[in-house]
Amino acid sequence: MHANAFDRYYAAESLLHRLDPRVKVVVTVAFILSNALLPDGAWAAFGLAWILLLVANAASQLGVDFTFRRSFIALPFMLVAVSAVFTPLGQPLMEWTVWGIRLTLTDAGIIRFGSILLRTWLSVQAGILLVAVTPFPDLIHAFEHLRVPAVLTTIVAFLYRYLFVLTDEVLRLLRAREARSAVVEGQKSGRTLFWRAQIAGHMAGQLFLRSYERSDRIYNAMLARGYTGQMRTLRAHTMRARDWLILFSVLLALALIQLTGRIG
């Protein structure tokens, strides 16, 4: 399995791709924070935030609906907030009794639920766009420039780098189990659930031991090559006038969205 199997970067020559990764990270975090700070029911502000997101999609040359088509994967997780419709605030609309529990649907609960869905949906799209226009190594270096703790960035970098290696290890263990568990066609294996759980436990233990030994070898190899705890790169990131202009323009647009949400 190749490492790029986990990478969602789409190469292109667009304005967003050429931006300094620090600008993209700061703008994405500010966009998500802006959505979280908007009051419930600020539909006009949510609409402006979506328009800003559509503009960013167009600037990425990946298609105006690029993030929209990929954001529905988070819909099941967003529906967890459905309990917000039963908030005691607001005017009651409908009532149910389930297993002796009285549930009251309110207008304020519906507004809150819709606002949570929009916040999450917009934030997920922003994250999708960030990883689509920024190579993962550039993201790590942007975190370092923004003074994210080195331990955290190193852990994330190595997790990404060796995730496909661990996946290969799991696939080899599964193939070995299948090769040693031959079954006559048309007959059941006769193995119990306890036996399967025991084998799964042995496989997890083997994966842990192999991962631990590999990490020790890799760390010693890195020390032998002069590793000092800092990720090095041949691509020096330099903030240009265009990067500063876009950064302040987007931050100003987010401030206007916040003002719209408060006034509306």
Over residues 151-201, the pLDDT tens digits come to: 888 788 777 777 777 888 888 888 877 777 655 555 555 567 777 777 788
pLDDT of 201:
83
Name the percent of the chain lying above pLDDT 70.
Answer: 82
Q: 228 pLDDT exceeds 90?
A: no
Name residues whose C-beta falls within 8 Å of residue 186's C-beta, 6 or more positions apart in sequence: none
Tokens of 184: 């006559």
Give kind and range of the element (H or E) at residue 21.
helix 21-37
Q: Is the dihedral of CA 122, 126, 127, 131 positive or negative?
A: positive
Average pLDDT of the chain?
Answer: 81
* Distances from the Cα of 128 to the Cα of 24, 71, 157, 188, 212, angstroms: 12, 8, 18, 45, 32
As a whole number of angstroms, the distance between CA 104 and CA 86 comes to: 5
Shortest CA distance to 202 belongs to which of 167, 182, 181, 177?
A: 177
Domain boundaries, the chain: 3-135+237-263, 150-181+193-224
Q: Per-residue confidence at 96, pLDDT binned at 50, 70, 90? A: low
Instruction: Return the higher-pLDDT residue of 229 and 68.
Output: 68
pTM value?
Answer: 0.75
Phi, psi of 104 (to 5 degrees): -120, 120
Q: 220 pLDDT exceeds 60?
A: yes
- 98-130 pLDDT, tens per residue? 676 666 677 777 888 888 888 989 999 999 999
